Structure 1
Amino acid sequence: MQRSDGLHEMGYPKWQLVLCLLLVYSMLYLSLFKGVKSSGKVVWATATLPYVVLTILLIRGLMLPGAIGGIVYYLKPELGRLTDTQVWVDAAVQIFYSVGAGFGVHLSYASYNTFHNNCLRDCLVTTAVNCFTSFFSGFVIFTYLGFMSHKQGIPISSVATEGPGLVFQVYPEAVATLPGSNFWSMLFFFMLIMLGLDSAMGGMECVITGLMDEFHSFFHGRRFAREIFTLGAATVSFSVALINVTPGGIYMFHLFDTYSAGISLLCSALFEAIAVSWFYGLERFSEDVQAMLGKKPGMYWRICWKFISPTFIIGVVMFGLLYQQPLKYMEYNYPSWAEWIGWTLALSSILMIPLVAVISIIQTPGTFKERIAINITPPEEHESIQQTHNVSRFRCRHWLYV
């Protein structure tokens, strides 16, 4: 990997990795430049083929000596770890990351749905498939870890590593020991490419759709606006990603991965839950769901949205902050200035939400009370507020409704 000794030795981008990165972003552009017309076709391959590959790898892995030991290790619970707060934080971040909650990807894709699309069914299917995929892929990973443990004569805990090292070092090493290793390695990395494209497509589509919707008047009517803007977004992303293909890039990647998809992701989901359930109003939101699906959400869903979800997220965030551990990658301990950079990255997304809210309140005309009322009320009620000063969101019913 030609890895450097730390962030103080970043070095220059490796041309081999730059070409690979360029190929990836070229594939992303070709998948997204026509919007869902192009990405909708690509996702049939990127979302389904990995299951075929995982099944093939699992069948082959079960034939290896030590595979059963790996599966037993995978399924055997360590109940003592439940007292470790970091385990709960990591679990929450993982499920948020794998489901995509807080990223805005679901909102971007949902904007292309019909009004009466069954979003409840989509939600249940998505979360069920996500949990099944995580559980199923664990079997695939630990069959090969059990094989490596059996072959090297060391405990599985010594074979398994966290982070990208498991995917790019341990697992390929295990596959390379098999007969016909070239075929199995090709199959494995083909699956990684499909999964990576699928994840990256969602994130980039979210950015492109969000900005084009926000500045609709600028893009509307311009020829090839989608194609040109997608090219610009891909170019900027490619330029930023170049730092990750330097000799010290893995340390920067781990820093990004820790802070950009950790506390900031949970805070994003927290702001969203509070905005919908409390400010927009659970009663109004339930009426919207009824208009779409024909029935209001049950008491269970309403209690979760208004109380359980925000409380759980706040608890996870607080424990994560109180019991935070020093950042390290393998044997490398990050300097304190690197963690300051990480927190700057995290806060750049967290603080953007309240900052935009404050700016919107300042720019809204009227008294302070009218400004608050208008900014927490749907646009169709703004005229009524200005004329009658009747604000439904200032009533106790709005805040106490469950």
Structure 2
Amino acid sequence: MLRSKPGPSSPGSLSPHGRDISQCKRTTVSTLTAVLTMEMKQPMMMNREQEKEQESQENGRLVADSVAEKGQKSCSGPGQVSNGYPSTSPQSPRDGAGAGTDRGGTPGTFRTLVVQQTSLDPPRETWSKKMDFLLSVIGYAVDLGNVWRFPYICYQNGGGAFLLPYLLMAVFGGVPLFYMELALGQFHRSGCISIWKHICPIFKGIGFAICIIALYIAFYYNTIMAWALYYLLSSFRATLPWTTCDNKWNTPNCTHYLSTDLNVSWTNSSISPAEEFYIRQVLQVHLSPGLHQLGWVSWQLALCLLFIFTVVYFSIWKGVKTSGKVVWVTATFPYLVLLILLIRGATLPGAWKGVVFYLKPDWRKLLTTSVWLDAAAQIFFSLGPGFGVLLAFASYNPFHNNCYKDALVTSSVNCLTSFLSGFVIFTVLGYMAEMRRQDVETVAKDAGPSLLFIIYAEAIANMPAATFFAIIFFLMIIMLGLDSTFIIGSFLAVPPEVKLFDYLYPFWTTVLGYCIGVSSFICVPSYMVYHLLTTKGTFKQRLLKSITPEPPGSSGPQRDTIVITNAV
């Protein structure tokens, strides 16, 4: 066997055998090749005593074995191998049985090359438990989009028929990219910025772009969580504030859809108390004539937003050691709430109407391009590859972790959660349609945040034990948002008129939106130009160096041991 350790060597110095170390270095490759490709001769028989003796001496220790061509000594001196590194025990027996053979060794010899590579990367933090990693990935992938976006996209694109393109896009698009990102992060043990030096250094700007996009998305997602926190605090009452029309924010158009008062008349201008609570009390839209005159900051929402940012900070301030423990609550609690809401929704009158509307297949929709585009967008939106989060999470794994199994488990859990959330939402929508005496399609016209904060909130308010269900529901929304650090945002190639309620966004706001998007992408070409300008050499040399991965050991003191065993 052959063991090597890093040791000092300088060009032009002589080994104890009088040979130039530089000459030894020139023969290092050929010598190592000889070690790995050497043909070992094995006799036909070995007696049992030799086997026992060899096994006892080989058990639990590594034996050094110097390899040289017949009639020629190694380039290194005693205790060294040809790469100039000293061996651990130069006087150790050269084979497993203790006999000092020079080449072939005794029968059954295992020749092992232990190469210790020294890199300059500091040791990277690792997960305390494997389950910390799995729950973190599940918590990232399973977010609010699984609860409000998938059910809406599903029924809009053919119900049960939509599951076919969704599964195909998952198998051939989402899951492979999901696995690739986990594998890259685990292999290189790098985040979304530093990993590009191992792939193609000139594209390092992509990593910076990912970070900027993440910052933008954090503003949006944390705002949703602030709304949910406001609803949560408002739920600690005997009567939920969005169930009545006698509050200070209500208008004469406020109409309780589920009222038993026969004198109530329904008009096109009627608004439910849940919708008025969301628009006039939470968002306070009526206090501002439009985006050209924003008005004052809502101090209630500002405090809720500050609290959310504080929770996020203390969840990650010590790295994976703290975030890995937080996800035990934030990733598992939503599943408990979803199960409770599913059982409660299934017992409501009219729930079956919602389930039928959710799953009834419309196979004709599969012939339209938009269904397949929505399926691809949903699977990428849900799994979230390409945002660097999976790279960062996987980089804290052991090198030999089975990331292929992790990718299959976490992506399957994510897809099943989306499917389960559809039942949770549509059982309640069926109940609302039954109470309003309307079609499910009419009730389910809202999508996005309004589906949660208006339709579902109103349904919960009219259930028995409404306070309990409201508390756990909005607490689940907060947990889902806290888990998801980044999500993939949708973008429009040719945007139509952008409206919020009855406000039509002016042209300058569209331009501002594109500027925000470009501000993240501009990092990619900017870093390319910067890298080419600061790299030495001709343009061809600079370009070649920019697309060549940096070799291991170019960035920090970390020792990796590679063991290559050749057995007879």
Q: TM-score with structure 2 length normalisation?
A: 0.45
How far apart are the structure 2 equivalents of 1:88 and 1:347? 27
- Deviation, 1:85, is 5.0
Counterpart amino acid of residue 455 in structure 2: V
1:140-155 equivalent positions in 2, closer than 5 A: 140-155=424-439
Match of 2:531 among 354, 360, 364: 360
Size of the aligned set, in residue pairs, is: 269
Alpha-carbon spacing, 1:33–1:170, altered in 2? closer, same or farther (3 Å): same
Shift of 1:114: 1.2
Gaps of 5+ in 1: 204-256, 264-319, 384-402
More helix by share: 1
TM-score calculated relative to the size of structure 1: 0.62
User: Does the 8 Å contact 1:6/1:332 carry over to 2?
Assistant: yes
The 3 A distance-change label for structure 1 pair 126 and 329 is: farther
1:157 Cα deviation (Å)? Answer: 2.1
Whether 1:321 and 2:549 are equivalent positions in the alignment is no
The verdict on how the C-alpha distance between 1:327 and 1:88 changes in structure 2, with shifts beyond 3 A counting, is farther
2-structure distance, mates of 1:14, 1:167 = 21
The structure with the larger Rg is 2
Map 1:108-257; keep pairs closer than 5 Å: 108-160=392-444, 161-199=446-484, 202-203=485-486
Residues 8, 47 of structure 1: alpha-carbon distance in 2 compared, 3 angstrom cutoff: same
Query: Relative to 1, partners in 2 of residues 1:140 and 1:85: Cα closer, same or farther, differing over 3 Å?
Result: same
Amino acid at match of 1:334: Y
Matched with 2:550 is 379
Q: In the alignment, what sits opposite 1:30?
A: 314
CA distance in 2, matches of 1:102, 1:70: 35
Structural RMSD (CA) = 2.3
SS in 1 for 2:331: helix
Shift of 1:176: 0.5
Cα distance in 1 between the residues matched to 2:419 and 2:518? 32
User: Alpha-carbon deviations, 1:256-314, whole Å to 9, x = none?
Assistant: x9xx8124xxxxxxxxxxxxxxxxxxxxxxxxxxxxxxxxxxxxxxxxxxxxxxxxxxx
1:42 to 326, 335, 342: 326
The reply on whether 1:262 has 2:490 as its aligned counterpart is: yes
Q: Distance in 2 between matches of 1:339 and 1:157?
A: 31
Percent of aligned pairs sharing the same letter = 50
State the partner residue of 1:272: none
Post-superposition shift, 1:131? 0.6
Deviation for aligned residue 1:136: 0.6
CA contact (8 A) 1:374 1:382 kept: no
- Please say if residues 93 and 261 of structure 1, whose CA atoms lie closer than 8 Å, have aligned partners that are also in contact: no
Aligned residue type for 2:468: F
Deviation at 1:354, TM superposition (A): 2.7
Structure 1 Cα separation of the partners of residues 361 and 418 of structure 2: 16
Q: How far apart, in 2, do the equivalents of 1:77 and 1:95 lie? A: 19
- The letter for the 2-side match of 1:190 is L
The aligned counterpart of 1:73 is 357
Structure 2 unpaired stretches of 5+? 1-281, 555-568
Deviation at residue 65 of structure 1 after TM alignment:
1.0
Is the alpha carbon distance of 1:103 and 1:346 closer, same or farther for their aligned partners in structure 2, counting shifts above 3 Å? same
Q: What is the alpha-carbon distance in structure 2 between the residues aligned to residue 332 and residue 134 of structure 1?
A: 32
Secondary structure of 1:379's counterpart equals coil
1:149 to partner: Cα distance: 1.0
Amino acid aligned to 1:27: V
1:170-229 CA distance string (max 9 Å, x none): 111111010110011011011111111111xx34xxxxxxxxxxxxxxxxxxxxxxxxxx
